[in-house]
């Protein structure tokens, strides 16, 4: 019962955080999904609570690759 309550509170808390930033270091992904659905977890423990409750996978959030700058001809 305690695990369920903690899981629900974690999910509700993650939904109320700024989702546009997507800057958490851990992401939750459903089994069979190609992309993570929630990257707002700052610790693996937070992510594992959700993964244990809903059945999924926790992955490290990899930052987007840096954009290449065009060089100007001198």
What are the b/e assignments for 17-44, b being 16+ CB within 10 Å? eeeeeeebebbbbeeeeeebebbbbeee
Q: What is the pLDDT along the chain (74 residues), one digit of tens a residue?
A: 656 655 555 555 555 444 444 567 899 988 888 888 888 898 999 999 988 888 899 999 876 667 777 777 66
Return the beta strands (E) in 7-71 as ranges.
26-30, 38-41, 56-60
Report how far residue 27's alpha carbon sits from residue 49's, in angstroms, rounded to the nearest whole number: 12
């Amino acid at each position: 019962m305690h695990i369920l309550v903690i899981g629900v509170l974690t999910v509700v808390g993650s939904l109320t955080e700024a989702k546009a930033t997507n800057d958490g270091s851990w992401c939750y992904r459903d089994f069979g999904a190609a992309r993570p659905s929630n990257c707002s977890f700052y610790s693996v423990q937070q992510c594992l609570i959700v993964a244990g409750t809903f059945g999924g996978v926790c992955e490290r959030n990899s930052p987007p690759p840096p954009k290449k700058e065009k060089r100007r001809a001198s």
